[in-house]
Amino acid sequence: MRIEFTLNGSAIDLNVPDGMTLLNLLRDRLAVHGVKHGCESGECGACTVLVDGVPINACVMLAPKAQGRDLRTIESFGEHPLHGWRNSAGLHPLQKAFIETGAIQCGYCTPAMVLVADALLSKNPSPTEAEVRESLSGVLCRCTGYLKPVQAILRAAAVLRGEQIEEVSELIPISPELFNSLDFSESDYVYGEEDLQLQTKVGLLPQMQVSQDWETRHTVGRPEPKVDAMKLVQGKSAFTADIEMRGMLTAKLLHSPVAHAEIRSIDTSKALELPGVVAVLTWQDLPRVVYSTAGQSDPIPGPLDTFSLDKKVRFVGDRVAFVAAETEDIANEALALIEVDYKILPAFFEAAQAMEENAPQIHDEPEYVDFGDSDAKRNLAAKIRIDIGDVERGFDEADHIFEETYQVPKVQQAHIEPHVVVTYWDEDDRLVIRCSTQVPFHVRRQLSPVLNLPAKRIRVIKPRIGGGFGGKQEVMIEDVAAHLTIATGRPVRFEYTRAEEFYAARSRHPMSITMKTGVKNDGTITANSMICLSDTGAYGCHALTVTGNTGHKGMALYVGDGKYRQSPNIRFYADVVYSNTPPAGAYRGYGVPQGFWAVDRQMENIARALDLDPLEFRLKNALRAGELQPFSTAWSEGREPQPEIINTCGLEDCVRQGARAIGWDSKFGVSAWKDVPGKPHLKRGIGVATVMQGTAIAYLDMGGASIKMNDDGSFNLLVGATDLGTGSDTVLAQQAAEVLGVPIDDIVVYSSDTDFTPFDKGAYASSTTYISGAAVVIAAEKVAERIRIRAANMLMKAGRREIGPQDLRLSDRKVVAPDGSSVTLEEVALNSLHHEDQEQIMAVGSYVSPVSPPPFAAQFAQVQVDIETGQVVVEKLIMAVDAGVIINPLTASGQVEGGMTQALGYGVCEEMRYDDAGNPREVDFHDYHIFSANEMPELQTIFIETVEPTHPFGVKAVAEIPIDGVAPAVGNAVLDACGAAVNAAPITPERVWTALKGSS
Amino acid sequence: MSPLNYLRPKTMAEAMEQLQSGVALAGGTGLTPRRAQIETVVDISDLGLDKITKIQKIFQIGAGTSLQAILGNVEVPAALRQACVLEAGWNMRNMATLGGTIMEADGRSAMLTILLALDAEIAREPEGDLIPIERFLSVRDKITLITQIRFEEPRKLLYEQVARTPLDFPIVCVSLVEADESSRTLRLAIGGYGMRPLRLPDLKKFVRKGANIDEIVHRAQGAYENAGDEWASAEYRSAVAGILVRRLLEEGTAE
């Protein structure tokens, strides 16, 4: 039908199909890419549009309903302040505030947040924090934890009211003394009205106990705005799907409706006859190449058990056929026309059934390639047996033995941008794969045999990523579009729906973990054992390495005290088994959250049983600086294990500062505090969990960077590292800027493209700041050295006395001699490129680490429990983290806040379950509940800086550790509140109620 | 799959004719995702069904009234307004209508549970009559168009739920209405399970402080004694229904 409306001030008059959504109209017909696709049922809000000033979700609005309305999208807001000779008003105050406060991570939901904020402030210029949170209630964010977006909106409101606002950089604490003098118990309201219901600290930076050389740095350690924030806050066409190509087809995937079956036959004739269908592919059309979808370095440390299309399906949602059609509707219609004859096979959905005698064999294909101890006949994807020390002797030496079994659920990464890929042949007949991936170089390497195309004939481009959290450390859908481009010769776009994300993507491995711990009367741990049964689902991607980390990190933290410190007794056995459920895979934390759910709940139980102070008990037995990482000699994700000494450990300070921040001494064990006045059915509780993670994979994973100097003294930094919203491009630029003596604005960062950027393993294993950062520093130092050599010559020619490069330092865009004389970087650049002895000043750096220095953290939680119904409300989460030197306190605290929020879902509400036929319970955000802005607890981040000597600036990782401790801390707080020992996560009301019934 | 037809009548008569072969579309939040299974939608946005009025203690809320408009109307009982927050975030509340919500919602709906406790009446077309919401829920799939939701302003309206998070859908929820000053009738509805919430039957008589509460709690527990599903066991739901009912009764009967 014909409709007329106004879009960002311009009149639009066009014909649309009656059934077209406003989202499809805006994105596909009008190229308004600031409106994003995150779901099809309105729950995520990424597609927010202002209609007559009111925010709505375009995915659930039919385009004809726009008739006569005034539509506004992010494209109507501000723009970059530099537009050449044309004057620009610059960004809108809301956009500025989102950048300044670090409210943008992946940026996929940022346009939506800015729009709802604008709608709020246009009617209510002085909102309370609760009103701001309510305005954000329709926009789900998986990255930020909402704290910084709330701060951004309050800050913008103040600006729009004409108030003076402090610069973000002025708020940073500068010394441990200042940190120590801070009182964390009171909120400090600066913007808006005081709101007693919710407490957000509006100080924009985290509390920091900074390292001593903090003041000597000019960029590292500063809250620099994200280098990609400007485009993200404008909703620019920066993501994979934001590309228009003539003749582009839409791909769809036929998923299996049954959990386990052989495909007797597939008839695609009716689908192919449908006008608009260009290709239908089944297993009979494709080369039969077995591979692994796990995006990991070569060789893949896991079984090869996957085909692009197979003659067997192994879970509800498994692949059956690919379709490419002129439109999405036609492609969907074609799926319904494919006739498949399934021979149903017995199936099972519980890991415990996998190795039973008569269990059906899920992988009986002859092409299956084992890795390590995998055994497809027994449905065993991986097996680990590690004994450190003499565990049985340790148990014999104990005064007490504690044994308990704990469970953790399968959960979804739930990045708001779904998996998406666009493929096309370029003018050189090379296959271009533009995809939302954490591992572009692995995509190229691993797909090469699958597509029967040499790697050199494949180019992988990674644009901005709308969140990944490990879900995109998988070569998962790129092959679908690639096969269809090969089949049709045409560009193909393939994007998962939200439902597909739930039934046909990856997830966190569910596990059942039995702990057995020997302890002496004084609290010394003499031996600790973990027996783990992990469910990898229908395919073994990441099976070995995820579960390996469950023990490698979780079981490494508590070595025991006294003689056990030198010779700990630790056992970690794991079986990773197949089942007829969607495959598990990589998810932020990579096995470690599972481990710490069991380990830390066990520690809490022991402390309580022996009446030990839970903080002192943990610290008494915890790993310390100077000690051996006990697993380093037993198991490695990379090559052969090699001993690693812990250089830095700020755990004790994390515990001390975190405890002070949450008021531990006035709450723990204080019965008066636990009571809620007038509500005898409510009890408060407080809990802690101490955790550690790793930083990169030692001896294996490599990062690379190149830096090129430009005529004006600026630099191009090209990295293969993949910023999936974390801010890694920014912290890499900061490290380059620090070495080169320039502001971060002078570093033009590009990531990543397999044709242009150096190799990098990709974004996983908490490695980018550390590994890729070290590579950047190496490249920058090489460039700096060339600059100093040339500058020394220039200074001497200018009449200065003899001077050597070693005498010069780079600072403030200049090369400065000890006597204060200097040449500018621009002068050096012009000299090198145009004037004499011309050369391109450029260098490449690469780095592989021999160690994986662990970050440490203390996670605190405060809860309120309804002891009659079991309902738990988490009131406060505080995490004190030793992540080494913090390169950027804004992005780093954003990692912690977002990680805690994801982990909160793991703790209390997120869980993927299946019925007796393997059908999923959760296929949307209606049933799979992730926290929204208006139900969040108070969040607080504290950084305890240590200086890790193996990195040029002393950094360790911060990305994954925030997800490790929340669930056990909440579990421990529930135990503290009411005595309910809930051993299975998530801690649902019924589980608490059941535990209370059992304890009574 | 035939393409969807979108119709937008200007009058009720026109709408009634079009609805003979189409499905009523209000906010579209429920229907739009299912559009592939629908041939014709009839957009009722221009029929003026978005008014909230209160005449002599009778609320009349147009079926096309958005949840956000209900939330923003301070005359509407607080628990009903809060139910709008529990149903959806801001964006969806701007789109979703009351009529659409009661057509689409299942037992895990705060709104439906409260409306059931309120003994709301549903005005429907083409019949042109009013039917109690309890009956409406049993014939919901045969309704052509609802135009208005009516209920008497209660003396007290209470709601409580148990969920995994503060704003998750309820596992168990209870709403209690004390009707008016003169009759002092109490009505209870229980939700969180199944296709629709339940009204506790035969709860007409006046309940003094504490009196009869045990009996009513027992009845509530009985109502959910088989209410087990993938979200919670029947044992849990039954027990918690009793707990919540007791709480609301004690609060509701407190002077």
Residue B203: per-residue pLDDT: 64
A159 and A59 within one domain: no
Last residue of a domain, one of B93, B126, B152: B152
Closest CA to A692 of A806, A830, A554: A554
Name which of B33, B165, B236 is nearest A40 (Cβ-Cβ). B33
* Contact assessment for residue A640 and residue A846, using Cβ atoms and an 8 Å cutoff: no
Residue B202: per-residue pLDDT: 56
Q: How confident is the model at residue A1000 (pLDDT cuts 50, 70, 90)?
A: low
Whether A64 sits inside 8 A of B167 (CB atoms) is no
Whether B33 sits inside 8 A of A135 (CB atoms) is no
Backbone phi, psi, residue A544, to 5°: -70, -45
Last residue of a domain, one of A45, A76, A107: A76
A817 and A738 within one domain: yes
Whether A993 sits inside 8 A of B88 (CB atoms) is no
B188 and B131 within one domain: no
Residue A766: per-residue pLDDT: 87
B142 and B55 within one domain: yes
B117 and B51 within one domain: yes
Residue A249: per-residue pLDDT: 98
Name which of B4, B165, B243 is nearest A868 (Cβ-Cβ). B243
> Would you say residue A321 lies in a domain?
yes
Q: What are the Cα distances from residue B42, in Å, to B5, B13, B32, B95?
A: 8, 12, 12, 16
Q: Does residue B202 come out as left (phi exceeding 0), alpha (psi in the -120 to 50 range) or beta? A: left
Question: Measured between beta carbons, which residues in chain A are less than 8 angstroms from residue B230?
Answer: 913, 915, 921
Closest CA to A294 of A698, A583, A719, A588: A583
Mean pLDDT of A176-182: 41
A87, two tokens: 């004057």
A703, two tokens: 């990062």
> Would you say residue A224 lies in a domain?
no
Residue A509: per-residue pLDDT: 98
Closest CA to A753 of A963, A462, A495: A462
How far apart (Å, rounded) are the C-alpha atoms in residues A886 and A891? 9
> Would you say residue A371 lies in a domain?
no
Provide the chain B residues 214-233 that lie in CB contact (below 8 A) with chain A: 230, 232-233
Residue A171: per-residue pLDDT: 45
Residue A298: per-residue pLDDT: 94
- Coil vs helix vs strand at A720: coil
Last residue of a domain, one of A459, A485, A504: A504
> Would you say residue A518 lies in a domain?
yes
Residue A64: per-residue pLDDT: 97
Residue A699: per-residue pLDDT: 87
Chain B interface mutation, best of A993, A994, A996, highest count of B Cβ atoms under 10 Å? A993
Asked if omega into A986 is within 30° of 0 (cis), the reply is yes
CATH of the domain at A109: 1.10.150.120
Mean pLDDT of A74-99: 95
* Contact assessment for residue B158 and residue B253, using Cβ atoms and an 8 Å cutoff: no
Cross-strand partners of A572? A386, A530
CATH of the domain at B16: 3.30.43.10
Mean pLDDT of A585-611: 98
C-alpha distance across the termini of chain B, in Å: 60
A723 and A588 within one domain: no
Provide the chain B residues 121-180 that lie in CB contact (below 8 A) with chain A: 162-169, 171-172
B121 and B174 within one domain: no
Residue A185: per-residue pLDDT: 38
Q: How confident is the model at residue A168 (pLDDT cuts 50, 70, 90)?
A: confident
Secondary structure (H, E, C), chain B? CCCCEEECCCCHHHHHHHCCCCEEECCCCCCHHHHHHCCEEEECHHHCCCCEEEECCEEEEECCCEHHHHHCCCCCCHHHHHHHHHHCCHHHHHHCEHHHHHHHCCCCCHHHHHHHHCCCEEEEECCCEEEEHHHHHHCHHHCCEEEEEEEECCCEEEEEEECCCCCCCCCEEEEEEECCCCCCCEEEEEECCCCCCEECCCCCCCCCCCCCHHHHHHHHHHHCCCCCCCCCCHHHHHHHHHHHHHHHHHHHCCC
Whether B164 sits inside 8 A of A869 (CB atoms) is no
Name which of A40, A915, A989 is nearest B164 (Cβ-Cβ). A989
Question: Measured between beta carbons, which residues in chain A are less than 8 angstroms from residue B32?
Answer: 21, 59-62
Mean pLDDT of B135-164: 95
Interface contacts A/B by beta carbons within 8 Å: 139
Whether B233 sits inside 8 A of A990 (CB atoms) is yes
Q: What are the Cα distances from residue B43, in Å, to A61, A351, A513, B5, B46?
A: 11, 49, 54, 11, 8
Domain count, chain A: 5
Residue A364 has pLDDT above 90, yes or no: yes
Residue A535 has pLDDT above 50, yes or no: yes
Q: Which domain holds residue B242?
A: 156-252
Q: DSSP per residue over A258-270, as a string? A: SSSEEEEEEE-HH
B148 and B69 within one domain: yes
Whether B43 sits inside 8 A of A57 (CB atoms) is no
Mean pLDDT of A121-137: 96
Asked if omega into A1000 is within 30° of 0 (cis), the reply is no
> Would you say residue A369 lies in a domain?
no
B190 and B161 within one domain: yes
Last residue of a domain, one of B152, B187, B220: B152
Mean pLDDT of A378-399: 98
B131 and B161 within one domain: no
A948 and A909 within one domain: yes
* Contact assessment for residue A730 and residue A800, using Cβ atoms and an 8 Å cutoff: no
Chain B interface mutation, best of A864, A912, A990, highest count of B Cβ atoms under 10 Å? A990
pLDDT digits (tens, 9 = 90+) for A554-573: 999 999 999 999 999 999 99
CATH of the domain at A660: 3.30.365.10
Residue A207: per-residue pLDDT: 79
For chain A, percent of residues with pLDDT exceeding 70? 96
A681 and A537 within one domain: yes
Residue A998: per-residue pLDDT: 85
Contacts with A665 (C-beta within 8 Å, 6 or more apart), sequence order: A659
A285 and A201 within one domain: no
> Would you say residue A278 lies in a domain?
yes
Mean pLDDT of A275-279: 98
Whether A21 sits inside 8 A of B32 (CB atoms) is yes
> Would you say residue A269 lies in a domain?
yes
A876 and A988 within one domain: yes
- The CA-CA-CA angle for residues A454, A455, A459, to 5°, reads 125
pLDDT digits (tens, 9 = 90+) for A188-245: 333 333 443 444 454 567 878 777 777 788 999 999 999 999 999 999 999 999 999 9
Last residue of a domain, one of A172, A205, A238: A205
> Would you say residue A570 lies in a domain?
yes
How far apart (Å, rounded) are the C-alpha atoms in residues A588 and A471? 8
A517 and A479 within one domain: no
pLDDT digits (tens, 9 = 90+) for B39-76: 999 999 999 999 999 999 999 999 999 999 999 999 99
Q: How confident is the model at residue A181 (pLDDT cuts 50, 70, 90)?
A: very low
Name which of A138, A870, A989 is nearest B91 (Cβ-Cβ). A138
pLDDT digits (tens, 9 = 90+) for A877-886: 999 999 999 9
Question: Measured between beta carbons, which residues in chain A are less than 8 angstroms from residue B220?
Answer: none
Residue A175: per-residue pLDDT: 38
A532 and A477 within one domain: no
Chain centroid to Cα A145, Å, comes to 12
How far apart (Å, rounded) are the C-alpha atoms in residues B189 and B184? 16
Whether A18 sits inside 8 A of B4 (CB atoms) is yes
Q: Which domain holds residue A156?
A: 93-205
Lowest mean pLDDT, pick from A437-446, B213-222, B237-246 = B213-222
Question: Measured between beta carbons, which residues in chain B are less than 8 angstroms from residue A57?
Answer: 29, 91-92, 95
CATH of the domain at B89: 3.30.465.10
Residue A768 is classified by DSSP as: I
Residue A176 has pLDDT above 50, yes or no: no
Residue B182: per-residue pLDDT: 66
Whether A137 sits inside 8 A of B90 (CB atoms) is yes
B190 and B143 within one domain: no
Name which of B6, B25, B164 is nearest A988 (Cβ-Cβ). B164
Q: Tell me if chain A has a CB within 8 Å of the CB of B213.
A: no
Asked if omega into A510 is within 30° of 0 (cis), the reply is no
Whether B168 sits inside 8 A of A929 (CB atoms) is yes
How far apart (Å, rounded) are the C-alpha atoms in residues B96 and B105? 11
Q: How confident is the model at residue A802 (pLDDT cuts 50, 70, 90)?
A: confident
B142 and B57 within one domain: yes
- Mean confidence (pLDDT) of chain A: 94
Q: What are the Cα distances from residue A715, in Å, to A742, A745, A795, A992?
A: 9, 9, 22, 57
Domain count, chain B: 3
Residue B183: per-residue pLDDT: 65
B183 and B167 within one domain: yes
Chain B interface mutation, best of A871, A921, A928, highest count of B Cβ atoms under 10 Å? A871
Residue A829: per-residue pLDDT: 98
Question: Measured between beta carbons, which residues in chain A are less than 8 angstroms from residue B246?
Answer: none
Q: How confident is the model at residue A401 (pLDDT cuts 50, 70, 90)?
A: very high
ipTM surpassing 0.95, yes or no? Answer: yes
CATH of the domain at A36: 3.10.20.30
Chain B interface mutation, best of A1, A35, A40, A56, highest count of B Cβ atoms under 10 Å? A56
